[in-house]
Structure 1
């Protein structure tokens, strides 16, 4: 009660924030008369003037009034659009790293020009993030006119562009792109082997359009770049044939350390056999071009000599299943990493699983938190304000509308069956059509939009149906949805980014109707269309404006509000109504069985509906519960990804440092020193008598890692021997060997080899580590049954795996460089790291979240809109959702047509 009284006296927190920005808006307005007098050249010159001020130490906030006044004047001259005061307010909020909630039709695209221009003055680049390629291209074209007038360069990232084209677009002052393209470019950049091959620059500032869709709906699944496990099953099967031909003298086995390695004779024998099999075509096993064969040979050797069937694993239903060494239980779903499991499958002659392995991944939460400065805009963010604040540190500010909202929102109508509901919707549409009131119907799926279309066809009512089949026609259909009597049926997510103007859209009609009209007659044609639209607008206003009809309540209130917000833009009249049935998904969750029996007892007749504000409130609470559950899922995903993100940052930073370094000799020497220190500490512990040291094992380790046959056993028999002395002697011998290689091949070649191998092995180790984390993540939830927190368990084990990975990396780098042999004149391609083939980019729609699933399905269809789709050529279809209509035009779902599984 006191809170209500306080809000009435002092206003809400949002009201107070808007009021505080008023002074800045007045400053911008005060500059308008002065800026209006400037010539085009003088107005353009203000860009350099503002840049100089920033370079001389002024902050963006200090130059904001002048910058915003400049953009407003440029927009008036170029686009004929003047920023309203509420749009200036929205622009200030965006510059303050907050989310501006602005209702549909308030001109968010124009608002973004203000903070984009201001933050692009630094020259560090600004990213404007959109939900699909069409909007990225459209907004870049529209607003690019304003930026270009002011001397700013504008780039746009589209699906299918080359690296050179992407690099050029990212070098522009302002870059428009989709969230997926930005995320995948970041991941791909961190798989490159040279700094000059990377396309993105350092992150500076990003504005996310439809921020709720990108940072909430799509945040439940990560972006993943995957590829088949290198070399595939054929190489595992081929190398497996080698092992039975080896004799005991060819390898040394240490069962205690669970290690097995080829002897010098064994290496020569293996090279001979691999040559006969046609696998090793030139050079030796340790030539840099053949390094991948060492890995396969070692894993096949381990599979045959260290792992016993029915002890370490069993073969069940044609699969190799690991047996837990402590419990003796089968570990279904778990696989050995680093190619060992495939080697076991090859040994047992079962299908070698060519795993689609994760090469790189990141969630949108962690990607967008990389930007030092982030902002967003949408028509619906308040319902998710808590999530934006908690995950991204972004507060939401509701911007007042330019004109008061005149839309009438009716109470929901609830019917017992879906059939009654659809009939009632069709009846209302017939009424709207008769009185020439345009109507927009929102459905939750393509199937339901087509079902309603069939109902209207039976009644001979003309209508437009908008779903994933339309691609770029979407903008034209939605733009004309405000014409008299027009009925538009759309999935809930369709048409975002395009205004519905009452009476129709002059520009869109001109584009469609005046395609072949000569330029001389074009002006007259546009004037005719403009007059027709004015007349149509009067008819629509008299009929009550746009009527938005929703066929179902969504599990998220935001999606409902997005649909409702299509009507009543800029103070126009309008109406909205939701039609529900007890058979709807949300109503079933809400407990429709009890309600159905209650309604029958109350005598609700067929075709009758119930409606009451209390029911609206009850439904809203049900939606809040579902939203809360989805927020928990996203928050939980982020907690697990944060563990991986910390490790990802370390690896990516390390890669960048390696690429920037002229050579990595110091890093390699440091790794070598740590490896020597580690093996001496393991085999010659301090405070233990030398006769108890593991001299034989240390000798074998020196042979395996460094290829050196050192008299370790004799050293340890010496009087007063100390671990430090052993360490120094091994280090001296290894350093001498490496110095000899430098002398033999030349310093430049060795430095190149070191850098190439280090990057290759770092990527291979990281890839294997991601696979291990994937497997760990899948089963970690079961720890809860043992009263242990899965997240803490994951953190602990992921850290241990990371430490093991770094230790193994040091060993592999040292071993490879010690054994590697070069041809007298190495080929450039041998020194170039081997690149991953057949990479795939995935951002799967989260299961159980129809909002994101619908959005993803629509976006996947529209994403490829820059490329012509040929119904007869599947290669032009791109990625098609399995539940989307088949692009061939059969009318069937893709999964029942061309996507049918054999």
Structure 2
């Protein structure tokens, strides 16, 4: 109570913060009269003036007012749009590295121009992150007019671009891209072999559009680049055939966490069926030898009983395509990991593609935390403010709207059965159509949207359906959803990027009806038609948003609601629920059902009360809190791998930027000798206790050199240190001879190339080991041990082991490798040919994997060159033929050819 009184007197913390920013807005407005009369060239020149001020040491905050005033004027001249005061406030919030929660239709795309322009003045680049390629391309072209007018470069990253185009795009002042493209470019860059082929610049500042969708919804699952592992495609089909024979009591299902496992009876049934099919040859399903078969059975169980066609995925063109639960879009190319996608393919009787092995992965949480400064904008972030603060250190600021929201949000209507609910929804739609009120119906699955569409078809009501199957027409359907009497059924509305404008969208109608060069008269005709239609829609009550079910997350419901009431328009929203809905059914509707029966609720009647809304909100908050805990736990495990990933990627980049890695190789060599000697000659042991046979074998295996270590050990008074020194001297002599034999420049390049290639191969093996460790670590809880601490400890041990293996393999390969070096300039071309075998990339990200060729295993390489002619006259260059620049000059001077006759 006292808190409410205090808020009334002093305002909320959010309101006080917004009030504190008002002075900047006043200063920007005061500059308008001074900037308006400037010529285009004079306005453009302000960019150089601002850049100079930043270069001379002024902070970005010092030039904020001048920069924002400049952008506002440029937007007026290029787009015909002047930033509202609330948009200027939004720009300041973004510049400060916070999240601006702005209602739908408040112009977030335009807001981003302010912070992007200001932060691009220091020349380090700004990334504007969108949820799909269409928006990245549209926004970069649309807002690019403002940036280009002011002399700044802008570009966007698209799926089909090559490395050179990507480099150019990242070199621009402002780069638009999807979160997937940015994440994959980061992973690919850290699989490159030269700095010149890397596409991204060091991270500076990112503005994330639909920040809740990207940093919360998609953060649960990582981006993965992978290559094929051992093929077991036939086994998926064979296991799939037995699953329909299992009865309901053969498995235990938990829909809350989407998990399923065989019951005790189910294990016996499955074992019997597998034996009949010839798949289980010996032992039980849980025997160590059958662990792979158990994995296939579990994947097939999930595919049949947890994942539904039309809800979680759809089958199109002979492929299983995942449906994004938050946006309703079919996610082209994405695949579930851990064999689940193959199990779904077997279930749907389409071609089962090869399983994958992780080569590189990163979560969006860890990727976006690489940016020194991060900001975001969305219509719905306040419900997740705690998570943004804890995970990303991002504060959410609730921005005021330009005009007061006039939308009326009705209480939910709750029916006992699904059938009653559908009938009520149809009646509501009919009522809206009769009074020419546009209605947007939000569903949570494709199946539900098609069921409603079929019911409307029966009633002969014209409608549009927007779901993963109509992905291509998305922008057009959304843009025309505000036409009087329009009925639009949409599966989730997150991040559509196109406003629903009452009366229709002028730009979309010009594009579809008038073609490329419309006349002014035709545009005016469309404008007046839209203005008339808008008035009809407003008189009918504006856009009516109807939710057919509550989502697990309040944000998704709020996003749907927010589509109505744009820029102060009137509108309404209402959710229709039944006790058979997933949220109500899974989270305790049995008591409510009994209560409604006692109250004598008749068929077709609904219960409507603010208490119901509050109870539902509490249920949603519980689900959100559980999901947050799951994401937090996931992040803790990923942080362990992330620390290792950062070390490896940093070391890799350092190696690429260093011309000469010989000191590092020498240290590795000495460490390997040290390890071998310590293992075979224990500390303080007598000479007769030394394992000289193993010592001889190991030195021969690793260094390809036959040393008389047994004889050395028999010498009187010889100590382990002396043995160590002799081995070191002999190995150093052998490697020095290689340097002299092949030329220093060539050998240094070979060392660097071997080091990078083997680091990648061993890192890939290490990721696989961590995957296996992660899958079973939860069982440690049964021994009263914390799985996270156990994972940290074992992952550290695996990391140390990986470094030891790397040292051993690098040293051994360099000791064994033999090069044929003669004369051409491309001495190392064959050795470095792995760079031409770059992996083909496809966008397959969250917890889903890429189909990619495996990285080649690297062994002894041969550099082919021409043999020098025997008829060389040192005094006659005409007889020398083609001489390598780093080879000794044929004149006999002793210098390299490039420093002599070259």
* Alignment TM class, shorter chain as reference: 0.7 to 0.9
Write the deviation string for residues 327-378 of structure 1: whole angstroms up to 9, x where unpaired.
996683599xxxxxxxxxxxxxxxxx98621110000000000001100000
Which residue of structure 2 aligns with residue 426 of structure 1?
426
1:501-520 residue CA offsets vs partner (Å, 9 max, x unmatched):
1111112111111127xx4x
Call closer, same or farther: CA 1:816–1:96 in 2, change over 3 Å: same
1:607/1:136 CA distance change after superposition, 3 Å:
same
Partner residue, 2:792: 795
2 CA distance for matches of 1:412 and 1:595?
Answer: 15
Distance 1:578 1:7 in 2: 30
Matched position secondary structure for 1:158: coil
Task: Name 1:363's counterpart in structure 2.
Answer: 363
- Give the corresponding residue for 1:638: 635
| Matched residue, 1:670 | 667
Superposed, 1:529-544 pairs within 5 Å as: 529-544=526-541
Contact 2:218 2:846 in 1 (8 A): no
Contact 2:439 2:545 in 1 (8 A): yes
CA pair 837-404 structure 1, distance change in 2 beyond 3 A = closer
Partner secondary structure for residue 470 of structure 2? coil
Matched, 1:653 2:655: no
By how many angstroms is 1:492 displaced? 1.1
Query: How far apart, in 2, do the equivalents of 1:5 and 1:713 lie?
Result: 90
The structural deviation recorded for 1:832 is: 3.1
Deviation, 1:97, is: 0.4
- 2:167 is aligned to 167
Secondary structure class of the residue paired with 1:357 = strand
Give 1:93 shift.
0.4
Paired position in structure 1 for 2:808: 811
Give the secondary structure class of the aligned counterpart of 2:834. coil
Instruction: Tell me the residue number matched to 1:719.
Output: 716
Give the whole-Å Cα distance in 2 for the aligned partners of 1:754 and 1:370: 30
CA distance in 1, matches of 2:223, 2:580: 35
Deviation at 1:322, TM superposition (A): 13
Distance in 1 (CA, whole Å) between partners of 2:641 and 2:282 is 27
Residue deviations 1:28-53 (CA, integer Å, cap 9, x gap) = 11111111121111100000000000
- The 5 Å alignment of 1:280-299 reads none
1:4 corresponding residue in structure 2:
4
Query: Which residue does 2:332 correspond to in 1?
Result: none
CA contact (8 A) 2:750 2:828 kept: no
Deviation at 1:823, TM superposition (A): 2.6
Deviations along 1:423-462, whole A, 9 cap, x unmatched? 1111111111111111101000111111111111111111
Residue 321 and residue 78 in structure 1: after superposition, are their counterparts in 2 closer, same or farther (change >3 A)?
farther
Do the aligned partners of residues 495 and 330 (structure 1) sit closer, same or farther apart at CA in structure 2, a change above 3 Å counting?
closer
CA spacing shift, 1:717–1:199, aligned 2, 3 Å:
same
Whether the 8 Å contact between 1:752 and 1:831 is mirrored in structure 2 is no
1:653-683: per-residue Cα shift (whole Å, max 9, x none)? Answer: 1111111111221111111011111111222
CA distance in structure 2 between the aligned counterparts of 1:428 and 1:329, rounded to whole angstroms: 59
Please state whether the residue corresponding to 2:544 is helix, strand or coil: strand
Paired position in structure 2 for 1:761: 758
User: How far apart are residue 750 of structure 1 and its match?
Assistant: 1.5
Secondary structure in structure 2 of the residue aligned to 1:830: coil
Q: Does 1:514 align with 2:514?
A: yes
Question: Is 2:756 the counterpart of 1:735?
Answer: no
Query: Would the alpha carbon gap of residues 354 and 161 (structure 1) be closer, same or farther in structure 2, given more than 3 Å must change?
Result: closer
State the alpha-carbon separation in 2 of the partners of residues 189 and 319 from structure 1: 44
Q: Alpha carbon RMSD of aligned pairs, Å?
A: 2.3
Shift in CA distance, 150/501, structure 1 to aligned 2, threshold 3 Å: same
Report 1:178-193 matches (<5 A). Answer: 178-193=178-193
Task: Select the residue among 320, 328, 332 that pairs with 2:291.
Answer: 332
Secondary structure at 2:469's aligned position in 1?
Answer: coil
Distance 2:281 2:631 in 1: 34
The whole-number CA distance in structure 2 between the counterparts of 1:593 and 1:546 is 35
Contact map agreement 1:690 1:716 (CA 8 A) in 2: yes
Query: Counterparts in 2 of 1:36-75, with a 5 A limit?
Result: 36-75=36-75
Correspondence 1:18 to 2:15: no
- Counterparts in 2 of 1:401 and 1:494: CA distance versus 1, 3 Å: closer
CA distance in 1, matches of 2:763, 2:445: 40
The residue aligned with 2:829 is 828
C-alpha distance in 2, partners of 1:594/1:610?
15
| 1:90 match | 90
Q: Which residue of 2 aligns with 1:881?
A: none
Q: Paired residue for 1:750, among 747, 756, 762? A: 747
Shift of 1:554: 0.2
Residue of structure 2 aligned with 1:548, choices 531, 545, 568: 545
CA displacement, residues 547-593 of structure 1 (integer Å, 9 cap, x when unaligned):
00000000000000000000001111000000001110001123222
CA distance in 2 between partners of 1:330 and 1:723 (Å): 44
In the alignment, the residues of structure 2 paired with residue 320 and residue 21 of structure 1 have an alpha-carbon distance, to the nearest angstrom, of: 73
Partner of 2:519, secondary structure, is: helix
**Secondary structure of 2:831's partner?**
helix
On the 8 A contact 1:193/1:833 being kept in 2, the answer is: no
Structure 2 residue ranges without an equivalent (≥5) = 233-276, 295-352, 850-902
Structure 1 residue 162: Cα displacement: 1.0
Instruction: Name the residue aligned to 2:606.
Output: 609
2:410 is matched with 410
More moved, 489-498 vs 26-35: 489-498
**Separation in 1, partners of 2:847, 2:615:** 29
Deviation at residue 140 of structure 1 after TM alignment: 0.7
Q: Does 1:682 align with 2:679?
A: yes
1:218–1:845 CA contact under 8 A, matched in 2: no
Measure the CA separation in 2 of the matches of 1:829 and 1:175: 36
What does residue range 145-544 of structure 1 map to in structure 2 within 5 Å? 145-229=145-229, 332=291, 356-493=356-493, 496-515=496-515, 519=517, 522-544=519-541
Deviations along 1:584-613, whole A, 9 cap, x unmatched? 000112322222222122211111111100
Which residue is equivalent to 1:558? 555
For 1:205 and 1:495, the matched residues in 2 are separated by 21
Change (3 A) 1:608 1:229: closer
Q: Answer whether contact 1:224 1:841 (CA < 8 A) is retained.
A: no
Query: 1:320 deviation in Å?
Result: 12
Alpha carbons of 1:797 and 1:524: their partners in 2 closer, same or farther (altered >3 Å)? Answer: same
Give the total of aligned pairs.
741
1:843 aligns with 2:845: yes
